[in-house]
Amino acid sequence: MRGPAGQLLMYGVLTIAGAFFAVPIVWALGEAVGVTAVHWLLNSLMYSGGGVVLAVGLCVPAGYGLATHDFPGRRPLLILTILLMLIPPSALVLPLFLEANAAHLLSSPLALILPYGLFPFGVYLTYLYFHNARFGALLESARIDGCNEWQAFRQVAVPLSLPVSALIVFLNFIASWTNFFLPWVMYWSFDAINRYPLALGIALQLRNSQTTGFYTAGLQLHTSSPPGQVALLVLVSGAPVVVVLVLAQRWIGSGQLGGMFR
Amino acid sequence: MRPRKSGYLFVAPYVVLLLVAGIYPMGYTLTLALTSFTAHFSGVTNFVKTWQNPTFLPAVGHICLFLVIWLTALVVLVVGLSLMLHSLDHRIGAAYRFLFYLPAALAGSASVMLWLFMLQPGLSPWSFVLNWFGLSTLGAVLAGGHLAAIFAVIAFWSGAGSWIVVMHGALATIPTEVLELAKVDGAGPWRTALTIKLPLIRRWIGYMLIGAFAAGTQLFAEPQLISEATGGVLNQTWSPNQVAYNLSFHLGNFNYAAAVSVDLLAVALLSAVIILRRSGLFALDT
């Protein structure tokens, strides 16, 4: 095994190589859609990425706890989770805005990442995933072998949770990436253009639309950039989701999750 | 499952976020809705005032029209397409499903942006359809009476794919023996679809309808962006959520906005409770 210095050197070389291969492509993207748009893209990646990490980090232990431990309040929590997951997220947007406004957190990344990280559906999926006799038996034998609760979780549950975690990543990423209403209320009224996620950046294209007086019959669509560039932006906005879709499918595997539909 | 207090530790982080980003905002909004600008308890005053607001009832009317068109399209087209795909070879069905799902990948505003292009005669590949309806400018297309249908089309384009995937999961739960028996009994694909598959996925269709209803009442992005496209002159308060948004952002009245928000939240919660209790889709056993 190479030592730490060797590891560092290897990663250094790989990074430089990665940059060599990737930079021209990123540059082309920047030229095509403009620097601001690339900024928006990176913002969206940060907000959605942060949300996904938070979601998985919270959902997997919570679903595991609900599925394998009995404690007072367990059933109410489960019911509350299901109720919340059946409510459309947009119902919470204005309440979240009012709360963020009161907390002076408007136009902060947290105003988006925290709501994105709340994913009751993910908790429910994980609960279904771990709530079966086979897994229960696995857990029991781990406990008999002397594992404490944390070790059992870390060494038995976590490695097995890959398919459901991948599903959570996929669903949560799409939900936050395509979200419009929440970023709109959190960010729009502040001209912090550089902090817009991509969804808002696209909306910005419509800012310069005009009507001829009050007669909309003469309305023509005017966008801030030429239609070709806007079209490209639209396609770019869809690309990461397709990438996540393809990656997630590798890990999900219909077999393990097929049994979840009753 | 044995009684273990350590369960609290596993659910704790989630519960904290649940309180911060779920329960507290709802509670705070409810409080705002029940108090006046000067923070005195005002009961249902805000609700009554907002219901009397001249923009509110028309917005409700718009949404109802939108819902009728959209939900009909969902039931007929999503179920119809899903049944058709189910009768196809597995891989062909999967390819179609992927294609139908693709629009869902676009960021919320991207779909509307794309459709604004689709609806512009002259630029759109569907121009011949628009001209067939006698619409020669974008302004004519976006005339007030058309909007409910236009939003339904956009919402369907972006959302149908996800529901088709859900229906696919539902159809996959039908045991193959049942389908084979039907074939042996001489039922053709149409009869099988209508008399056997359809009744078996009833619960899922119900779930889709109620879920889509709840989501549809919340419509915001589409009308708001169309409003932006007209320079903010038109349709700023087409949907109830826009009314609420307008109340907070342009009129600065958070109490009124909270009242409208609570109205919509109540509809969403009611729908959630109905799905939970009536559909029998959720495993609540210990």
Say if A6 falls within a structural domain: no
Of B108, B258, B269, the CB nearest to A178: B108
For residue A115, pLDDT over 90 is answered with: yes
- pLDDT per residue as tens digits for the range A8-24: 898 899 999 988 888 88
Rounded to the nearest 10 degrees, how much is the dihedral formed by the CA atoms of A261, B1, B3, B7? -50
- pLDDT per residue as tens digits for the range A80-99: 998 898 888 888 998 999 89
pLDDT band per the 50, 70, 90 thresholds, residue B141: confident
Please answer yes or no on whether B268 and A87 come within 8 Å at the CB atom. Answer: yes
* Closest Cα in chain A, distance from residue B76 (Å): 22
Question: Which amino acid appears at position A71 of this protein?
Answer: F
List alpha helices for chain A, DSSP H: 4-33, 35-68, 74-86, 93-102, 110-117, 120-130, 133-144, 149-152, 158-160, 162-177, 181-187, 198-204, 227-252, 254-258
Domain count, chain A: 1
* Closest Cα in chain A, distance from residue B46 (Å): 16
Question: Domain span at residue A126?
Answer: 35-208+222-258
Interface of B with A in 96-115 (CB under 8 A): 102, 104-110, 113-114
- Reading the block at residue B27, the tokens are 């509670």
B2-3 vs A210-212, strand pairing mode: unpaired
Please answer yes or no on whether A95 and B26 come within 8 Å at the CB atom. Answer: yes
Ramachandran region, residue B122 (left: φ > 0; alpha: ψ -120 to 50; beta: rest): left
Say if A18 falls within a structural domain: no
pLDDT for position A259: 38
- pLDDT per residue as tens digits for the range B195-238: 888 888 888 888 888 889 988 999 998 898 888 877 666 678 88
* Closest Cα in chain B, distance from residue A104 (Å): 14
Sorted by sequence, the CB contacts under 8 Å of residue A100 that are 6+ apart come out as A106, A108, A111, A186
What distance in Å separates the CA atoms of residue B142 and residue A202, rounded to the nearest whole number? 20
**ipTM of the complex, rounded to two decimals:** 0.83
Say if A17 falls within a structural domain: no
Say if A194 falls within a structural domain: yes
* Closest Cα in chain B, distance from residue A11 (Å): 33
Of A88, A202, A231, the CB nearest to B107: A202
Please give the model's pTM, rounded to 2 decimal places.
0.84
CATH, residue A132: 1.10.3720.10
Residues of B in contact with A74 (CB under 8 A): 7
Of B113, B169, B245, the CB nearest to A230: B113
Closest A-chain CA to B14: A58
Domains of chain B are 52-278 (1.10.3720.10)
Interface of B with A in 38-97 (CB under 8 A): none
Burial class (CB in 10 A: 0-12, 13-18, 19+), B113: buried
Say if A47 falls within a structural domain: yes
pLDDT for position A54: 95
CB B25 within 8 A of CB A114: no
